[in-house]
Structure 1
Amino acid sequence: MSKTKNYAKIENSNQDVNFVNDDEDNDSFQRTNNKENTPLLINNDISINYASADHENNSPPVTGADGKFIVYKRRWWVLFMFTLLSLNQCNFWITFSTVAVLAKQYYNTDLARINFLTELGPILYVPFSVVFSWSINRYGIRPNILIASALVAIGGAVRSVPGIFPLVIIGQSFNAIAGPFMMTVPTKISNVWFPPEERTFSTAISTVSNFSGSAIGFLLALFATTDTHLKYLLYAEAVSGALIFIAILIYYPEKPPTPPSATALEAERAHQASHIGLLDSWKQLFIQSYRFLRIPSASILTIVSSITSGCYAGWSAILTEIIVNVYTPSQGAVEVSFPIPEAVGSSLISILINVFTFVSIEVGSLIPPQTLNWMLVGCSAVSVILLLFVKEDYKRLKSDAKVQ
Structure 2
Amino acid sequence: MSESKNIEVSGSVMDGMAEKGGVLESPTKKPPTEYTVYPIRWLVLFIFVLYSASNSMQWIQYSIIQDAVVKYYGVSSITVYWTSMIYMITYIPLIFPASWLLDKTGLRVTTIIGSFGTCAGAWLKVFSVPQDMFWLGFAGQTVVAISQVFILNVPPRLAAVWFGADQVSSACSIGVFGNQLGVALGFLLPPMLVRAQGTVDEIAADFRLMFYLVAGFTSVLFVFILLFFKAAPPSSPSAAADLGSSLDSNFLQSIKKLLTNRNYILLLISYGLNVGVFYALSTLLNQVVLTYYPGANEDAGRIGLVIVVAGMAGSVLCGLVLDKTHRFKETTLAVYVASVVGMLIFTFTLDCGVIGVVYLSSIILGFFMTGYLPVGFEFASEVTYPEPEGTTSGILNAVVQVFGIVLTLTYERMLESVGDRWSNVGLCILLAVGAAITAAIQPDLRRQAAQHKG
Q: Which bracket does the TM-score occupy, shorter chain normalised?
A: 0.7 to 0.9
Partner residue in 2 for 1:212: 181
Q: 1:338 aligns with which of 361, 372, 385?
A: 385
Partner residue in 2 for 1:387: 438
- For 1:144 and 1:255, how far apart are their aligned partners in 2? 13
- For 2:293 and 2:169, how far apart are their aligned partners in 1? 40
Query: Does structure 2 retain, via aligned residues, the 8 Å contact 1:146–1:245?
Result: yes
- For 1:102 and 1:66, how far apart are their aligned partners in 2? 62
Computing the radius of gyration from Cα coordinates, the structure with the larger value is 1
Q: What does residue range 25-104 of structure 1 map to in structure 2 within 5 Å?
A: 67-104=33-70
**How far off its partner does 1:229 sit?**
2.5
Gaps of 5+ in 2: 1-11, 14-30, 196-202, 296-369, 371-377
Q: What does residue range 110-189 of structure 1 map to in structure 2 within 5 Å?
A: 110-161=76-127, 162-163=129-130, 164-189=133-158
Q: 1:107 aligns with which of 45, 51, 73?
A: 73
Distance change (3 Å), C-alpha of 1:344 and 1:225: closer
Query: Does structure 2 retain, via aligned residues, the 8 Å contact 1:317–1:361?
Result: yes
**How far off its partner does 1:386 sit?**
1.9
**How far off its partner does 1:67 sit?**
4.3
- Between the two proteins, the alignment pairs up a number of residues equal to 330
**How far off its partner does 1:185 sit?**
1.3
For the aligned residue pairs, the C-alpha RMSD in angstroms reads: 2.2
**How far off its partner does 1:145 sit?**
0.2
- For 2:257 and 2:245, how far apart are their aligned partners in 1? 22
Q: Deviations over 1:339-377 (max 9, x none)?
A: 232223211110010001111221122112333322322
Q: Aligned to 1:70, what secondary structure does the other structure show? A: strand
Q: 1:291 aligns with which of 248, 257, 265?
A: 257
Gaps of 5+ in 1: 1-9, 12-64
Q: What does residue range 225-374 of structure 1 map to in structure 2 within 5 Å?
A: 225-226=194-195, 227=203, 228-270=205-247, 281=251, 284=252, 287-328=253-294, 331-368=378-415, 369-374=420-425
Q: Aligned to 1:367, what secondary structure does the other structure show? A: helix
- For 1:224 and 1:102, how far apart are their aligned partners in 2? 11
For 1:81, give the aligned amino acid. I
Q: Which has the higher contact order (CA 8 A, sep 6+)?
A: 2
Q: Aligned to 1:112, what secondary structure does the other structure show? A: helix
Query: Does structure 2 retain, via aligned residues, the 8 Å contact 1:99–1:224?
Result: no
Q: 1:377 aligns with which of 424, 428, 434?
A: 428
- For 1:190 and 1:401, how far apart are their aligned partners in 2? 18
Distance change (3 Å), C-alpha of 1:88 and 1:371: farther
Q: Deviations over 1:250-281 (max 9, x none)?
A: 111111011112232233333xx56x7xxxx5
Query: Does structure 2 retain, via aligned residues, the 8 Å contact 1:159–1:234?
Result: yes
For 1:394, give the aligned amino acid. L
- For 2:34 and 2:94, how far apart are their aligned partners in 1? 38
- For 2:396 and 2:177, how far apart are their aligned partners in 1? 15
- For 2:179 and 2:392, how far apart are their aligned partners in 1? 18
Q: Aligned to 2:431, what secondary structure does the other structure show? A: helix
Question: Is 1:197 equivalent to 2:166 in the alignment?
Answer: yes
When you count strand as a share of all residues, which structure comes out higher?
1
Query: Does structure 2 retain, via aligned residues, the 8 Å contact 1:315–1:372?
Result: no
Deviates more, 1:199-208 or 1:340-349: 340-349
Query: Does structure 1 retain, via aligned residues, the 8 Å contact 2:160–2:168?
Result: yes
- For 2:33 and 2:388, how far apart are their aligned partners in 1? 26
- For 1:180 and 1:338, how far apart are their aligned partners in 2? 22
**How far off its partner does 1:395 sit?**
1.4
**How far off its partner does 1:248 sit?**
0.4
- For 1:69 and 1:120, how far apart are their aligned partners in 2? 42
Q: Aligned to 1:324, what secondary structure does the other structure show? A: helix
Query: Does structure 1 retain, via aligned residues, the 8 Å contact 2:90–2:145?
Result: yes
When you count helix as a share of all residues, which structure comes out higher?
2
**How far off its partner does 1:66 sit?**
8.2
- For 1:288 and 1:372, how far apart are their aligned partners in 2? 38
Q: Deviations over 1:132-152 (max 9, x none)?
A: 101111111101100000000
For 1:346, give the aligned amino acid. S
Query: Does structure 1 retain, via aligned residues, the 8 Å contact 2:124–2:137?
Result: yes
- For 2:387 and 2:32, how far apart are their aligned partners in 1? 30
Q: Deviations over 1:314-333 (max 9, x none)?
A: 22012112223343296101
For 2:149, give the aligned amino acid. P
Query: Does structure 1 retain, via aligned residues, the 8 Å contact 2:276–2:400?
Result: yes
Query: Does structure 1 retain, via aligned residues, the 8 Å contact 2:103–2:388?
Result: no
**How far off its partner does 1:68 sit?**
2.1
Query: Does structure 1 retain, via aligned residues, the 8 Å contact 2:49–2:178?
Result: yes
- For 1:322 and 1:160, how far apart are their aligned partners in 2? 29
**How far off its partner does 1:211 sit?**
3.0
Q: Aligned to 2:59, what secondary structure does the other structure show? A: helix
